[in-house]
Amino acid sequence: MSGDIDTRPELADYLNRVRAALADLPPEELAEVMEDVEPHVTEVFGEAESAEEVTRRLGTPEAYAAELRAAGGYPPPTAATPGDRRRTWRGRYVFWMTGLTVGVAAATGLSTVEGYSAERFGALVVFGFLLIPGLWLVFSGGVRRSDIETLPEYGLARKLGKSALATLPDKPVAYLVSLRPAWWLIRIVLLALGFLAALESRSSGLVIILGLIGLLVWGGARVRTDRRLLLVMVPANAFVVGLAVALASAAVSGADRGNAYYPTGYSQSGLTYDGSHLANVYAVDAEGKAIPEFYLYDEEGKPLNVYRPSCDTHYGESTEHRNRFPLPRVDYQAGVCRERADLPFMPLPPISGSVTTTAPTTTTPTGPAPTTTTAPPATTTPPVTTTPPVTTTTQ
């Protein structure tokens, strides 16, 4: 029976309107009434050829609900009480927060075509926290299903959704419906591909993707028996759909780059050294620090212009002639073009012991050079004591 409701939107809409008209009944009594009503209405829909025929036989959902109310001896619907108004606003919070989270999740999945940085998941994390109060309201009984289905915006959303679905070709829709039994596996595979791409780019976004994988594995089977889990499963599915589009776009752009045409004789750098092409040129100062920007010229003052690779968000990889160095390194990760300005090596300052130095030259005057006399080595001898002569006088 539930299969008929899922495959016939007009049947589900009729039953939802009946349930909304009886929303003031106690939850247990409402469940009993709907348990008896659904088989009968489903049978009438099976016999009728159109929704108009069902309305002719049963009346509008509101009129049919009034008959059920009278037959069961239930009092007529009363005016809304403050408690009912609170439940309405709670239901509105759950509805809008779930819808916004679905939109943000889909947009986040699409944005992964540009990379898996944590900043791209920021909005999804914020709305995920804002959805937590709604989950608490639903699981604690603060918001019932009828509180959401009676909202005017809910009815409008269902109407727009059915109209959009009706515009799609029948064959693709039937094919997607046939994939529903394996949809949980497809979701896991897509998230696994996204996880590998985030892992390759070393992004912290892989933590969120890993959490979504765990959520889908845990809730995939439980959502069939507990429809309250739709509040988290629908946003997770929306992210997977956006991620699938992003992965497909990255695959197509990667194939286009592989088939790109380059002119004959194209050289990435245009510079050679000892007969070998140079992919790049780097310069460091005397302390081994990289010079972030410099320009090359030949002996005649002409700039040495080479192809300068760069990333363009609209056309993938683009080039231009420049003589500014070092050239950026164009790196593709997960279909995303990035320009890297870091050095591919660690420059070290010159080691004094391994560098040959030249002694400074001393300039001498042109006049006559002074004569330098080399003194002989001094010999030290003991001093000689001299005795003066003695003179003798004779008287």
Q: How far is CA 341 from CA 113, 269, 294, 297, 355, in A?
A: 22, 16, 13, 22, 29
SS3 label, residue 266: coil
The full DSSP string for 302-354 is -B--EEEEEEETTTEEEEEEE-EESPPEEEEETTEEEEE-S-SS---PPPGGG
Residue 89 has pLDDT above 60, yes or no: yes
What average pLDDT does the segment 258-272 reach? 51
Task: Supply the DSSP symbol for 158.
Answer: H
- Cα–Cα dist 151/88, whole Å: 8
CA angle 349, 355, 356 (to 5 degrees): 155
8 A C-beta contact, residue 48 and residue 54 = yes
pLDDT exceeds 80 at position 15: yes
Token representation of residue 94? 């759950």
Higher pLDDT, 271 or 93: 93
| The pLDDT of residue 97 | 93
List the one residue out of 339, 330, 347, 352 whose CA is nearest residue 291. Answer: 347
Give mean pLDDT, residues 182-199: 77
Question: Rounded mean pLDDT of the chain?
Answer: 73
pLDDT score recorded for residue 96? 93
Can you give the pLDDT at residue 307? 67
Q: What tokens appear for 77 in the block?
A: 């619907």
Between residues 290 and 255, the one the model is more confident about? 290
Overall residue count recorded for the chain in this entry: 395
Residue 333's pLDDT band (boundaries 50, 70, 90)?
low
Q: What is the pLDDT of residue 162?
A: 79
- Domain spans of the chain? 9-72, 82-255, 277-345
Q: Answer yes or no: is pLDDT of 350 > 90.
A: no
Nearest to 339 by CA among 366, 308, 385: 308
**pLDDT the model gives residue 67:** 87
> Would you state the pLDDT for residue 100?
93
* HEC per residue, 35-58: HHHHHHHHHHHHHCCCHHHHHHHH
**Other C-beta atoms within 10 Å of 247: how many?**
19
Q: Where are the alpha helices (DSSP H) in 167-229?
A: 170-178, 183-200, 206-222
pTM of the model: 0.50
C-alpha to C-alpha distance for 287 and 350, rounded to whole angstroms: 7
Task: Give the per-residue pLDDT at 101.
Answer: 92
At 202 the pLDDT is 66
Residue where the block lists tokens 């898996």: 116
For residues 183 and 138, give the distance between their C-alpha atoms in angstroms, rounded to a whole number: 26
For residue 12, what are its two tokens? 């589900």
> Can you state the angle between helices 152-166 and 82-111, rounded to 10 degrees?
40
pLDDT of amino acid 120: 79
The pLDDT of residue 88: 83
pLDDT, mean of residues 222-245: 84
Which tops the pLDDT comparison, 191 or 118?
191
* pLDDT given at position 11: 80
Q: What is the pLDDT of residue 180?
A: 72
First vs last C-alpha separation in the chain: 176
Q: How confident is the model at residue 348, as a pLDDT? A: 66
Residue 259: the pLDDT is: 52
